[in-house]
Amino acid sequence: MDLRFTDAQPTAEERRVVERATGIPDSESHDRVRTDSNLRIFRTGRRSVVNRRHLLLPALETVQSEIGWVSEGALMHICRVLSVPPAEAWGVATFYSLISVDPSPPQVWHICDDIVCRRQGALDLIDRFESGELQPPDSRWAPSPCLGQCDRTPAAYIQRAGKDDMVVVGPDTARLNGLSPDRHSPNGRPQPPPIPQFGQPHLRLLRRVGAVDPGSIDSYLAAGGYQALEAAVRMGRARVVAEVKASGLRGRGGAAFPAWIKWETVANSPEPVRYLICNADESEPGTFKDRVLMEDDPFSVVEAMTITGFAIGARRGYLYIRGEYPLATKRLSRALQEARRQGLLGEDADTGVDFDIEIRRGQGAYICGEETALMNSIEGLRGEPRNKPPFPTVSGLFGKPTVINNVETLCNVLDIVTEGGDAFAQLGTAQSTGPKLFCLSGAVKRPGVYEVEFGATLGELIDLAGGLPDGLHLRAVLLGGAAGSFVLPDLLSMPLTFEAASEAGVSLGSGVIMPFDQHTDFGDILTRIAEFFRDETCGQCVPCRVGTVRLEEALARLRRQPRPGDKDLIAEIDLAMRDASICGLGHTAAIALRSALDLGLL
Amino acid sequence: MDQPDTAKVATEMVQVTIDGASVAVQKGATLLEACQQMGTEIPTLCYLETLTPVNVCRVCVVEVERNRTLVPACSRMAEDGMVVSTDSERVRHSRKMVLEFLGSSVDLSLAEDEVGDWMERYGADPARYGPVSAPAAAGERDARKPGHHHHVNGETAEGVHQPTKVDNTLYIRDYSRCILCYKCVEACGIDAQGTYAIAVAGRGFDARISTEMDLPLGDGACVFCGNCIGVCPTGALMFRSEWELRRADLWDPQAQSVTRTVCSYCGVGCNLELHTQDNRIVKVTSPQDHEVTSGHLCIKGRFGYDYVQNLGDVEQNSIDEVLQAARRRSPK
Ligand SMILES: Cc1cc2nc3c(=O)[nH]c(=O)nc-3n(C[C@H](O)[C@H](O)[C@H](O)COP(=O)(O)O)c2cc1C
Ligand code: SF4
Ligand code: SF4
Ligand code: SF4
Ligand code: FES
Ligand code: FES
């Protein structure tokens, strides 16, 4: 195999950035043609992977964040250094919405116009950008799907070439006063406690949030940090897996799959090389719980991953975090450094656990939260989900047995190890054990992340968030996010457990609870959801690539001038998408729309 | 662990039930192979024996008991005790919708003949989505950004129609006909050619087959082996000569003959099928079941027919000559 590159050359700056991102000295990268003799290739599944291919996304991401866009010269340079065919690198670069392959001004404002923000000031903000009234210097702007800041709307994520990217939220967004990307930086501004339940004694997952300094490992250790890892090492791998089994812990990322089944399969695999992935892509509209954990208690994520890696016999873990979470990324990187420095992480850790963690930043693709798309993304391929089986526990990242769990799922492991699986199983109900985080946003007085034991009712959660603002009453709740369904107030007494939800024909998904009031234009909300799925489908399989477009078109007609049979058509599309699509995105894309139609919200 | 007995593994069989009848197949066989063994026809679009399955078109789905969703027959392995229905209500519905989705967004008029038969069999009616949207301007689809699209009104069914890419003398790319089956990408990449000149770019409905930076073929890595043309099921990739003849309404399969021969350029022994019209070679294929080529050739076998025709080395000549000859015969 010969790779052919175009003549475009990188600037000196681009060279430097690529060298930094890949760790490969620039002197190694001048060959114009690579041949079998200087290239090692191995095959996984249907694609070939060149051994440096996994550095493609970090390289693209670094060039994007340092230079502001990926020029032909930079792309060719990356291809030469990593031995990636240019057409494939182009295919990867054009897959992500945060990567620009066109010249771009140094600042790009991604302004959220998703379901919550659009009802809370985002549309006005966008109007003011569109009319030119608001015009940050040297910038362009683009509408964005949910940024995971739904408790402090409206939100914007700003890429800044050569500088830290940042998020601005709430009134700051409209005033264009960027918050510092680090809320704990010494700018003198007092920070409100990040969670409404701050200080309450029942908190487990959130107990350190706002109470420990997320930048200091000493603060974490003083609050009992790393006692769980110590306990885990004392217990041994098999016991840890057994405790997780006894705990009944189920996945918090949306699918509610028992964690121990994955762990045990990988722990018992004959294959010596295994991986752990922490799924921190959190892009389901309305979801922001993992962000709060990562921003304000980053060490617990690191400790929980270390315990999990130990238990399943993995030496390497990846934490895949969405690109729009710069603060969480920064704090996690710092936490990794601190943990390594303290001998609590890495090959030669004093704990005797040979495990290290690498952070990978997503670049604007909801689909990369799907577990197998995420693995392809890490491997430097397009973020297209894989057909299952084989499941990741058998053939996951780089074709090796892999455990992938959500951030919140993993954080539960700390208490399971220290208090025992049985104690954990006492919390909640028989089939839904432990504490659970819910993300309340939309028409509530105090939006935020709330922790309850499984079994609290939908109405209780809404009350915790202060109920609806005065003068408004509840019309419907979107449960589980864009991939979830609408329910009416008659379900307020439903306990929020996996079993009760499934009996009611709904899903808790990633823990989104989004109340809507009587003035809601559901046609508008549903259109945004349909647009979301059309924008975010990877486009690989026909039912979803075209189905999401046909759904959007049918909905547009329903809102204006329906053709006879349009509602039946939507049902037909939905059925084929559920039955024949490859992954969960296609399976769930029509659920919210169908539930709204069934409930007469449109 | 004991060493596996390789002889035993190779012949290990699994028993599956397909539409009520029981069949034993070798372990590792796909459901598609099991169906073929029984003579049950399964439609396929993105599957080709010589390529690694990508399982993206989903027209081959079948129903397997105790599976929540349908499964792609082309890539799902048969497991002992599986109970499979290939013609259930759910299967027929999904196949109908897949065909409608493609038919309403892509120009299938030159697709393999079976596609029309399947449309009829499953009652697919692409027209019910309304008229297809106006074609995009040249290059517009290639410049679309992931995560963004224009609002729709539902009056038209959005399609992939766009002008044909004519950027070299050997073959054209008419992506209005592209169903995104990935076959060309696989044939160009790991499965045959090893050139990786094309890949899928963009995302979602705007995903497309592209060279790097959407360059004209000759400016990128393409070596003009034509293997992508050989596997394209819809006529999106086509010999320039065939395309010119069709455009002039002079393409005439009735007046064509196919001659099998062995390529004389080198000693490999590739089988060629020379398609001639008016004694001019209008395209060259290679049989997919040929053990040397599996249907794949190189530029010399695929496009070197000027040499055969002694027309000199300017390819443009060959197309003009072919057109002239066809015009002389049929004064349309
Ligand atoms: C389209 C799509 C997006 C997803 N996004 C996420 C995500 O952002 N975070 C997450 O933890 N799981 C996400 N998932 C679920 C993952 O595929 C997977 O089930 C999960 O990471 C497993 O972890 P858990 O068992 O701990 O929940 C997504 C699934 C789909 C289909
Ligand atoms: S269902 Fe949608 S997102 Fe999932 S693989 Fe298919 S096209 Fe991609
Ligand atoms: S002609 Fe050959 S090299 Fe060129 S794109 Fe097609 S398969 Fe690839
Ligand atoms: S050009 Fe042809 S072979 Fe390639 S993806 Fe499109 S339809 Fe398939
Ligand atoms: S941040 Fe805007 S809707 Fe979530
Ligand atoms: S032929 Fe099986 S998915 Fe295309």
Higher pLDDT, B315 or A175: A175
Name the phi and psi angles at B221, rounded to 5. Answer: -90, -5
Per residue, the 3-state secondary structure of A217-282, as one string, reads HHHHHHCCCCHHHHHHHHHCHHHHHHHHHHHCCECCCCCCCEHHHHHHHHHCCCCCCCEEEEEECC
pLDDT for the residue A194? 80
Q: Is the pLDDT of residue B291 over 60?
A: yes
Q: Residue B153: inside a domain, yes or no?
A: no
| CATH number assigned to the domain with residue range A435-517, chosen from the 4 options 3.40.140.80, 3.30.450.40, 3.10.20.600, 3.40.640.10 | 3.10.20.600
Tell me, yes or no, whether B202 and B316 share the same domain.
yes
- One-letter amino acid of A106: P
Element (DSSP H or E) covering residue A515: strand A512-517
B92 touches chain A (CB under 8 A): no
CB contact under 8 A, A87 and B147: no
Q: Give B2's pLDDT tier (boundaries 50, 70, 90).
A: very low
Q: B312-316 — which CB contacts under 8 Å span 24+ positions?
A: B315/B169, B315/B170, B315/B240, B316/B169
Q: Is the pLDDT of residue A125 over 70?
A: yes
User: Is any ligand 6 atom within 6 A of the Cβ of residue B58?
Assistant: yes
Three-state DSSP class for residue B243: helix
List residues bridging with A457 in a β-sheet.
Answer: A495
Q: Give B318's pLDDT tier (boundaries 50, 70, 90).
A: low
Q: Residue B85: inside a domain, yes or no?
A: yes
Three-state DSSP class for residue A539: coil
For residue A143, the chain B residues in CB contact (below 8 A) are 148
**Domain A107-172, CATH homologous superfamily name and number:** Glutaredoxin (3.40.30.10)
Please, what sign has the CA dihedral across residues B6, B8, B11, B17? Answer: negative
Please report the atom of ligand 1 found closest to the CA of residue A373: 17
Q: Residue B275: inside a domain, yes or no?
A: yes
Average pLDDT, integer, range B134-143: 97
Please report the atom of ligand 3 found closest to the CA of residue B302: 1
B74 touches chain A (CB under 8 A): no
- One-letter amino acid of B107: D
Q: Is the pLDDT of residue A436 over 50?
A: yes
Structure tokens at A563: 């053709």
Residue in B52, B59, B197 nearest the CB of A46: B52
pLDDT for the residue A177? 47
Q: Residue B178: inside a domain, yes or no?
A: yes
- The packing angle between helices A298-312 and A237-247, to 10°, is 110
pLDDT for the residue B296? 87
Q: pTM of the prediction?
A: 0.95
Q: Which ligand is nearest to the CA of B99?
A: 6
Distance from CA of B276 to the nearest CA of A (A): 33
Phi-psi region of A114 (alpha: psi -120 to 50; beta: other; left: phi over 0): beta
CB contact under 8 A, B212 and A90: yes
Separation between Cα atoms, residue A225 and residue A219, nearest integer Å: 8
pLDDT for the residue A28? 64
ipTM rounded to 2 decimals: 0.93
Q: What is the CATH number of domain A522-598?
A: 1.20.1440.230
pLDDT for the residue A192? 64
Tell me, yes or no, whether B273 and B169 share the same domain.
yes
Tell me, yes or no, whether B164 and B306 share the same domain.
yes
Tell me, yes or no, whether B250 and B310 share the same domain.
yes
Q: Domain ranges in chain A?
A: 12-93, 107-172, 217-426, 435-517, 522-598
Cα–Cα nearest to A161, from A113, A103, A245? A103
Q: Which of A381, A549, A572 to substitute to test the interface with B, most B CBs within 10 Å?
A: A549
User: Is any ligand 2 atom within 6 A of the Cβ of residue A577?
Assistant: no
Across the beta sheet with A402-406, what order do the strands follow? Answer: A356-361, A316-321, A275-280, A402-406
Tell me, yes or no, whether B185 and B49 share the same domain.
no
Cβ atoms of residues B31 and B73 within 8 Å: yes
- What is residue A434's DSSP assignment? S
Q: At B75, which CATH number?
A: 3.10.20.740
Cα–Cα nearest to A585, from B203, B67, B160, B59? B203
Q: Give A29's pLDDT tier (boundaries 50, 70, 90).
A: low
pLDDT for the residue B191? 80
pLDDT in tens, B45-82: 999 998 988 999 999 999 999 999 999 999 999 999 99
Protein residues whose CB sits closer than 6 Å to any atom of ligand 4: B 178-184, 209, 231-234, 236-237
Q: Which ligand is nearest to the CA of A110?
A: 5
CB contact under 8 A, B97 and A580: yes
pLDDT for the residue B190? 79
Separation between Cα atoms, residue A242 and residue A240, nearest integer Å: 5
Q: Residue B98: inside a domain, yes or no?
A: yes
Name the phi and psi angles at A402, rounded to 5. Answer: -140, 135
Pairing of strands B199-201, B208-210: antiparallel
Q: Which of A532, A545, A591 to mutate to test the pocket of ligand 2 (most atoms within 8 A of CB)?
A: A545
pLDDT for the residue A175? 61
Distance from CA of A1 to the nearest CA of B (A): 6
CB contact under 8 A, B205 and A552: no
pLDDT for the residue B313? 44
CB contact under 8 A, B146 and A542: no
**The dihedral formed by the CA atoms of B68, B72, B75 and B80, expressed in degrees to the nearest 10:** 50
The chain-wide mean pLDDT, for chain A, equals 92
For residue B108, the chain A residues in CB contact (below 8 A) are none
Cα–Cα nearest to A395, from A294, A293, A275? A275
How is domain A217-426 classified at the architecture level of CATH?
A: 3-Layer(aba) Sandwich (3.40)
pLDDT in tens, B111-131: 999 999 999 999 999 999 999
Q: Which protein residue has the closest C-alpha to ligand 2 atom 4?
A: A583
Q: Residue B15: inside a domain, yes or no?
A: yes
User: What percent of chain A is predicted at pLDDT more than 90?
Assistant: 88
Average pLDDT, integer, range B185-196: 89
Residue partners of B84: CB distance under 8 A and separation at least 6: B16, B17, B18, B19, B31, B34, B35, B62, B63, B64, B65
Q: Residue B117: inside a domain, yes or no?
A: yes
- Same topology, domains A107-172 and A217-426? Answer is no
Separation between Cα atoms, residue B216 and residue B196, nearest integer Å: 15
Q: Which of B1, B68, B91, B200 to substitute to test the interface with A, most A CBs within 10 Å?
A: B200
Q: Give the end-to-end CA distance of chain B in Å, rounded to a whole number.
A: 75
Three-state DSSP class for residue A524: helix
Distance from CA of B125 to the nearest CA of A (A): 12
Q: Is the pLDDT of residue A47 over 60?
A: no
Separation between Cα atoms, residue B58 and residue B182, nearest integer Å: 13
Separation between Cα atoms, residue A352 and residue B140, nearest integer Å: 57
Q: Which of B196, B206, B215, B219 to substitute to test the interface with A, most A CBs within 10 Å?
A: B196
Tell me, yes or no, whether B166 and B49 share the same domain.
no
* d(CA B148, ligand 6 centre) in Å: 28
Which domain covers residue B4, as residue numbers?
A: 1-124
Q: Give the end-to-end CA distance of chain A in Å, rounded to a whole number.
A: 56
Say how many C-beta atoms besides its own lie within 10 A of residue A128's C-beta.
14
Q: Give B292's pLDDT tier (boundaries 50, 70, 90).
A: confident
Q: At B220, which CATH number?
A: 3.30.70.20
Q: Is the pLDDT of residue B192 over 90?
A: no
pLDDT for the residue B317? 53
Mean pLDDT lowest among A185-189, A515-519, B123-127: A185-189
Separation between Cα atoms, residue A136 and residue A159, nearest integer Å: 13
Cα–Cα nearest to A56, from A92, A101, A7, A102? A92
DSSP B5-40: -HHHHHH-EEEEEETTEEEEEETT-BHHHHHHHHT-
Tell me, yes or no, whether B193 and B312 share the same domain.
yes
CB contact under 8 A, B102 and A542: yes
Mean pLDDT lowest among A189-193, A300-304, A316-320: A189-193
Q: Which residue carries 């052919």 as its tokens? A: A4
Longest Cα–Cα distance of chain A, Å, equals 73
User: Apex CA A228: angle with CA A223 and CA A229, to 5°?
Assistant: 115
For residue B105, the chain A residues in CB contact (below 8 A) are 546, 549
Residue partners of A404: CB distance under 8 A and separation at least 6: A262, A276, A277, A278, A279, A371, A374, A375, A392, A396
Q: Which of A284, A548, A585 to mutate to test the pocket of ligand 2 (most atoms within 8 A of CB)?
A: A585
Structure tokens at B18: 């397909």
Say how many C-beta atoms besides its own lie within 10 A of residue A300's C-beta.
28
For residue A553, the chain B residues in CB contact (below 8 A) are 129-130, 152, 154, 157-158
Cα–Cα nearest to B274, from B304, B236, B294? B304
Cβ atoms of residues A519 and A468 within 8 Å: no
Higher pLDDT, B192 or A480: A480
Longest Cα–Cα distance of chain B, Å, equals 76
User: Is any ligand 1 atom within 6 A of the Cβ of residue A317?
Assistant: no
Q: Is the pLDDT of residue A383 over 90?
A: yes
**The dihedral formed by the CA atoms of A512, A517, A522 and A524, expressed in degrees to the nearest 10:** -90
**Structural domains in chain B (count):** 2
Q: Where are the beta strands (DSSP E) in chain B?
A: 13-18, 21-26, 61-64, 71-72, 83-85, 171-173, 199-201, 208-210, 237-239, 256-262, 271-277, 280-285
**The dihedral formed by the CA atoms of A455, A457, A460 and A461, expressed in degrees to the nearest 10:** 80
Q: Which of A371, A538, A546, A579 to mutate to test the pocket of ligand 2 (most atoms within 8 A of CB)?
A: A538
Average pLDDT, integer, range A214-242: 97
Q: Which of A553, A559, A569, A574 to substitute to test the interface with B, most B CBs within 10 Å?
A: A553
Q: Which ligand is nearest to the CA of A95?
A: 2
Tell me, yes or no, whether B290 and B204 share the same domain.
yes
Residue in A95, A540, A553 nearest the CB of B154: A553
Tell me, yes or no, whether B166 and B116 share the same domain.
no
Tell me, yes or no, whether B264 and B307 share the same domain.
yes
Q: Is the pLDDT of residue A50 over 90?
A: no
pLDDT in tens, A55-105: 999 999 999 999 999 999 999 999 999 999 999 999 999 999 999 999 999
Separation between Cα atoms, residue A27 and residue A340, nearest integer Å: 30
Cβ atoms of residues A378 and A57 within 8 Å: yes
Q: Is the pLDDT of residue A172 over 80?
A: no
For residue A531, the chain B residues in CB contact (below 8 A) are 149, 151
Residue in A72, A75, A91 nearest the CB of B199: A91
Tell me, yes or no, whether B186 and B253 share the same domain.
yes
* d(CA A441, ligand 5 centre) in Å: 9
Task: Return residues 213-272 of B near A (CB < 8 Å).
Answer: 213, 215, 219-221
Q: Residue B25: inside a domain, yes or no?
A: yes
